[in-house]
């Protein structure tokens, strides 16, 4: 018998179709983490909605969670489609995958406004600094001076999606690396437990177009220049005494919406995840040293989500019966009487 999770599902229930990405692509590593995280969190796969835009990253929803409905929308439009789906059925667990072209260029407006509305969703950016499907043009997250496999170094300043999200008031902002499996798993599991918008910007090397040593987003460069803010462990609400080694040094715990915890183990200087200033300083300092800072940058609990500000009925709108959708005849008669007065 295969191992099952809390809802009696084997890991296989969370898998997807065969990936068609390049062998060794960072995105596949992330897909595997998503599969594992959803399984470990014991989320019912049918309750998940997989959302994506266009690009290499946005193809991946076909490669995980095949028991979940998904929508591979249009380039840069995933946030708006998710917004509509979110108000239509607020009970769905929205798991979105996007890329740096999809989010930082063509879809940057929708990214910003989805944060503003605080959609209840997990938004993973698979960030490699280049457009893969169109064969290797720089994206807006490529660092100034970084160089891809072919062509001149990138001359423009990068857009830092994490800094932008923090400034916009996003309640869960993290950066990670597709090669840091443990950290990424903890963050994705925590993102799934968060209520409100959780953004995880995952540096995910493009092995084909941007994996040379002059690239700041190559596998080797990120490995050598990854500054982890803290060690991370996820402690699920259904098993609070799960065997997790108690760190010898200092640690802090962040309580998540569903009762789970994210344990932050101090590595060097303590990072206060409740401080926007510290988060932005950490990003700025890393940028100045051409490093990547990873971990949970910022966290805030209790910001109203879109479905709350919309004051929607408890039942998902997609499931309402006719009598709640169409006002009765008397109401129309009364209205007409008023018009005729």
Q: Which residues bind other proteins (CB under 8 A)?
A: 44-47, 49-50, 61-62, 66-74, 77, 79-89, 91-92, 109-110, 112-113, 117, 306-307, 310-314, 316-320, 322, 324-327, 329, 331-333, 335-336, 339-341
The whole-angstrom separation of Cα 263 and Cα 227 is 18
CB of 32 to other proteins, least distance (A): 18
CB of 217 to other proteins, least distance (A): 27
For 134-159, letters b (16+ CB in 10 Å) and e give eebebbbbbbeebbbbeeeebeeebb
Nearer to other proteins, 156 or 336 (CB): 336
The whole-angstrom separation of Cα 296 and Cα 260 is 15
Nearer to other proteins, 18 or 241 (CB): 18
**19: nearest Cα among 52, 50, 62:** 62
Q: Do 229 and 296 touch, CB atoms closer than 8 A? A: yes
CA 6 to each of CA 9, 204, 235, 236: distance values in angstroms, whole numbers, following the listed order: 7, 30, 14, 11
The whole-angstrom separation of Cα 194 and Cα 259 is 10
Q: Taking the CB of residue 30, how many other CB atoms lie within 10 A of it?
A: 26
Nearer to other proteins, 58 or 204 (CB): 58
Q: Find tokens 């309402």 and name the residue.
A: 320
Nearer to other proteins, 117 or 175 (CB): 117
Nearer to other proteins, 156 or 324 (CB): 324
* Surface-to-core class of residue 8, CB atoms within 10 Å of its CB (0-12 exposed, 13-18 middle, 19+ buried): exposed
CB of 154 to other proteins, least distance (A): 27
CB of 69 to other proteins, least distance (A): 4
The whole-angstrom separation of Cα 301 and Cα 298 is 10
- Helix axes 78-88 and 108-117, enclosed angle (nearest 10): 30
Nearer to other proteins, 220 or 318 (CB): 318
CB of 48 to other proteins, least distance (A): 9
CB of 85 to other proteins, least distance (A): 4
Nearer to other proteins, 270 or 333 (CB): 333
CB of 40 to other proteins, least distance (A): 20
């Amino acid at each position: 018998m295969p191992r099952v999770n809390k809802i009696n599902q084997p890991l296989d229930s969370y898998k997807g179709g065969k990936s068609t990405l390049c062998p060794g692509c960072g995105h596949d590593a992330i897909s595997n983490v998503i599969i594992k995280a959803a399984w470990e969190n014991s989320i019912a796969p049918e309750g998940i909605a997989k959302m994506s835009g266009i690009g290499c990253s946005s193809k991946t929803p076909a490669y995980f969670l095949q028991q979940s409905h998904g929508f591979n929308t249009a380039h840069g439009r995933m946030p708006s489609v998710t917004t509509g789906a979110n108000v239509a059925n607020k009970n769905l667990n929205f798991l979105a995958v996007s890329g740096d072209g999809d989010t930082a260029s063509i879809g940057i407006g929708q990214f910003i406004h989805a944060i503003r509305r605080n959609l209840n969703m997990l938004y993973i950016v698979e960030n490699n600094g280049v457009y893969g499907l169109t064969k290797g043009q720089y994206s807006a997250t490529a660092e100034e001076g970084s160089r891809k496999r072919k062509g001149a170094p990138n001359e423009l300043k990068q857009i830092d999606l994490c800094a932008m999200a923090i400034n916009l008031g996003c309640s869960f902002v993290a950066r990670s690396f597709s090669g840091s499996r443990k950290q990424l798993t903890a963050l994705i599991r925590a993102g799934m437990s968060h209520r409100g918008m959780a953004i995880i910007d995952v540096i995910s090397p493009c092995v084909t177009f941007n994996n040379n040593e002059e690239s700041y987003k190559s596998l080797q460069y990120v490995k050598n220049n990854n500054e982890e803010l803290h060690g991370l462990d996820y402690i699920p609400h259904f098993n609070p005494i799960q065997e997790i080694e108690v760190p010898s040094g200092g640690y802090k715990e962040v309580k998540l919406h569903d009762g789970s915890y994210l344990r932050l183990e101090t590595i060097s200087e303590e990072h206060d995840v409740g401080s926007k200033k510290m988060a932005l300083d950490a990003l700025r300092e890393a940028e100045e040293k051409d490093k990547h800072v990873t971990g949970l940058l910022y966290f805030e609990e209790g910001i109203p989500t879109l479905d709350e500000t919309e004051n929607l009925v408890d039942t998902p709108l997609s499931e309402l019966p006719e009598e709640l959708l169409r006002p009765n005849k008397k109401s129309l008669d009364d209205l007409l009487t008023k018009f005729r007065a």
